[in-house]
Chain A
Amino acid sequence: MLPSLSQVIAEKKAGQPPTHGQGAMSHGTPDTSQPKIETRHLNFYYGQRQALFDISIQVPQRNVTALIGPSGCGKSTFLRTLNRMNDIVDGARVEGLVQLDGTDIYRPNIDVVSLRKRVGMVFQKSNPFPKSVFDNVAFGPRIAGLTDRKKLGEIVESCLKRAALWEEVSHRLKDSALALSGGQQQRLCIARALATDPEVLLMDEPASALDPASTARVEDLIFELRRNYTIVIVTHNMQQAARVSEFTAFFFQGRLIEMDRTDQLFTKPKEKETEDYITGRFG
């Protein structure tokens, strides 16, 4: 049986490991003074249809922020405005302000390519390139111009280690990435995203296509990574949000209903809609 949300929160407060337990550490007080990402009055349109309404949010540094809400509530769309992945969608339009470290990322003179190097992304469906494991992780550094084989090797090794995949693939770096299991592929995608040395990691339901054991590994990994990266994760799974995040934002019908510390939001939600959603009355 799934643990109840309050149980998950209580365990986490008691310093328990997030899921099944490797390497959980007590987490120092988050540095919330300067938000890493901030949006103000963000509206987003797909052609005529408005998908996001007046979103103002502050994502703190070196923390995991979870975005929850029912399907189609705009949480993925919101995530994709943060690294301008929506730019490639025909007819997409953004209004309002999105700031990374105080810089408006939609200003005309922003270089989207370097923005995306600082704001990495992991997708719902694992999407390794049909290349070797090594070439997948080395892809980002290579397009950035790194050719030194030794340095590439070091980066690949350290990223695979940080993604908790090194043990499993160190002897088969030259094998095709498509030969890995689903869970390994997703961790490979995380390693690949880490290789560009980003500051922010956006994760769009990274574990939704994985079996429970792989999900647990990915969650442990996210919990580990929060010490060095600012992570924004979209999830359908509220237990997952409760386990891995310090802050949670609840989206509903394209609006941000409520954002708070995860334990607050799940135990004492301020809004009626949030309460209805987390107690399973809809969604």
Chain B
Amino acid sequence: MSNTPDSESRATGARLTSATLSPAERPSLQKRWSLTTLKEQCIRLVLFCCALLSVATTAGIILVLFSETLLFFSQVSVLSFFGDTVWQPQSQDNPRFGIWPLACGTFLVAGIAGLIGMPLGLLSALYLSEYASERSRSYLKPTLEVLAGIPSIVYGYFALVFLTPYVLQPIFMNALGFEVGGFNVLSAGIVVGIMIVPTISSLSEDVLRSVPRGLREAGLALGSTKFDVSVRIVLPAALSGIMAAFLLALSRAVGETMAVTIAAGSQPDLSLNVLRSIETMTAYIVMVSLGEAAAGSIEYRSLYVVAMSLFLITLVMNIIARFILRRYRNVYQ
């Protein structure tokens, strides 16, 4: 035995002493102020302030939007805002504030973008998740995501100096005989559509891949082709997730500013002609911000009411999308 009687007694002795200490002599568990605890408190406070700042900023923005919107509606009736079909805030003798021309422009661009971006994004997601080999996927996916990194002003510029004069005008004007403006909705819609492809494909691919492998195997074992499996099993199973991806992408298209300002121009017309210039809500905000609307004037306040409308539209779309996405996740987890 290595333990001598001596060391053994010392060990038990030590145990005994700590147990036999009187309550007052035991180390206190009470919290004491020291430099360490102070530092912890400071760090906690700083981090909390950082978090608070972003929440407070958002709250502040909403507050300002809200109050300016109320002031706007004290001068312009809600009825004419939603009822009038003309938007001419700059007019000196007869300023009119019907939101529909701007809303129409925004939804036209978003609609065209959706028509182009949704199928393109969904099909590329389907290819990436169901058909592509691991190798080609590892090249294609990052490449597609690079699209998301291109500044939106580049897209707008591309629409203005390439798409309109070299693609749209030759096709619609020279070949089909329609009038095509230098600024037009179609070119803006097309580039915004391309812009939202990465959002759609990347989100949709995630939901497609989260469809259990067992379902694909079951389909194949029943004698389905890969196409049958993709379209009849994987796609329906992932449908709600894909809807959410669409909504998120569309809300991005609605909020898109730079590309549409450059490509679609600033002509607030209530018209469904996609070959003419229109003005979107975002483009209007850009224009007024750059101009010299006096603070407190009705024109200045119209900025806020448009921003508020835009905010509400995208907010609702985002909330619906997140709601669908969360419900979908619960199905397979």
Q: Decide if A85 is an interface residue (CB 8 Å cutoff).
A: yes
B222 proximity list for chain A (CB < 8 A): 116-117, 120, 139-140, 143, 192-193, 196
- Chain A's interface size range is 20 to 34
Q: Decide if A277 is an interface residue (CB 8 Å cutoff).
A: no
Q: Are the CB atoms of B225 and A113 closer together than 8 Å?
A: yes
> A127 and B223 in contact (CB under 8 A), knowing A90-B133, A90-B134, A143-B228?
no
A196 proximity list for chain B (CB < 8 A): 222-223
Which residues A123-166 have CB closer than 8 A to chain B? 123, 125, 127-131, 139-140, 143-144
Q: Are the CB atoms of A193 and B221 closer together than 8 Å?
A: yes
A189 proximity list for chain B (CB < 8 A): 218
Q: Are the CB atoms of B218 and A127 closer together than 8 Å?
A: yes
* C-alpha gap A140/B221 in the complex (Å): 9
Of the listed stretches B69-77, B142-150, B231-239, chain A binds: B231-239
Q: Are the CB atoms of B233 and A129 closer together than 8 Å?
A: yes
Q: Are the CB atoms of A127 and B133 closer together than 8 Å?
A: no
Q: Decide if A274 is an interface residue (CB 8 Å cutoff).
A: no
Which residues B102-155 have CB closer than 8 A to chain A? 133-134
> A144 and B223 in contact (CB under 8 A), knowing A85-B217, A125-B214?
yes
**Which A residue's beta carbon lies closest to that of B224?**
A143
Binary per-residue interface labels of chain A (190-232) against chain B in the complex, 1 for a CB within 8 Å, 0 otherwise: 0011001000000000000000000000000000000000000
Q: Decide if B215 is an interface residue (CB 8 Å cutoff).
A: yes
A120 proximity list for chain B (CB < 8 A): 221-222
> A123 and B220 in contact (CB under 8 A), knowing A130-B236, A143-B228?
no
> A129 and B237 in contact (CB under 8 A), knowing A143-B228, A143-B232?
yes
Binary per-residue interface labels of chain A (150-192) against chain B in the complex, 1 for a CB within 8 Å, 0 otherwise: 0000000000000000000000000000000000000001001
B236 proximity list for chain A (CB < 8 A): 130-131
Q: Decide if B331 is an interface residue (CB 8 Å cutoff).
A: yes
A22 to chain B, nearest CB (A): 27
Q: Are the CB atoms of B214 and A127 closer together than 8 Å?
A: yes
* C-alpha gap A140/B222 in the complex (Å): 6
Q: Decide if B212 is an interface residue (CB 8 Å cutoff).
A: yes
B134 proximity list for chain A (CB < 8 A): 90
A89 to chain B, nearest CB (A): 11
A123 proximity list for chain B (CB < 8 A): 214, 217-218, 221
How many A-B pairs with Cβ below 8 Å?
Answer: 63
> A113 and B224 in contact (CB under 8 A), knowing A129-B233, A131-B236, A139-B232?
yes
* C-alpha gap A221/B197 in the complex (Å): 50
* C-alpha gap A140/B214 in the complex (Å): 16
A123 to chain B, nearest CB (A): 6
Which residues A68-123 have CB closer than 8 A to chain B? 83, 85, 88, 90, 113-114, 116-117, 120-121, 123
B212 proximity list for chain A (CB < 8 A): 127
**Which B residue's beta carbon lies closest to that of A127?**
B214
A95 to chain B, nearest CB (A): 22
> A116 and B223 in contact (CB under 8 A), knowing A90-B134, A139-B232?
yes
Q: Are the CB atoms of B217 and A127 closer together than 8 Å?
A: yes
A114 proximity list for chain B (CB < 8 A): 223
B137 to chain A, nearest CB (A): 11
Which residues B202-226 have CB closer than 8 A to chain A? 212, 214-225
Report which of B220, B228, B232, B233 forms a contact with A85, defined as CB distance below 8 A.
B220
Q: Are the CB atoms of B224 and A127 closer together than 8 Å?
A: no
* C-alpha gap A127/B218 in the complex (Å): 7
A190 to chain B, nearest CB (A): 12
B225 proximity list for chain A (CB < 8 A): 113, 143
A76 to chain B, nearest CB (A): 12
A113 proximity list for chain B (CB < 8 A): 223-225
Q: Assuming A128-B218, A129-B218, A140-B222, what are 5 further A-B pairs, CB within 8 angstroms?
A: A85-B220, A113-B224, A113-B225, A116-B223, A123-B214
CB pairs A–B below 8 angstroms (30 shown): A85-B217, A85-B220, A88-B216, A88-B217, A90-B133, A90-B134, A114-B223, A120-B222, A123-B214, A123-B217, A123-B221, A127-B212, A127-B215, A129-B219, A129-B233, A130-B215, A130-B236, A130-B237, A139-B222, A139-B232, A140-B222, A143-B222, A143-B224, A143-B225, A143-B228, A143-B232, A192-B218, A192-B222, A193-B221, A196-B222
The 10 closest A-B pairs by CB, nearest first: A117-B223, A127-B214, A121-B221, A140-B222, A116-B223, A127-B218, A143-B228, A113-B223, A143-B224, A130-B237
B residues near A, CB below 8 A? 133-134, 212, 214-225, 228, 232-233, 236-237, 331
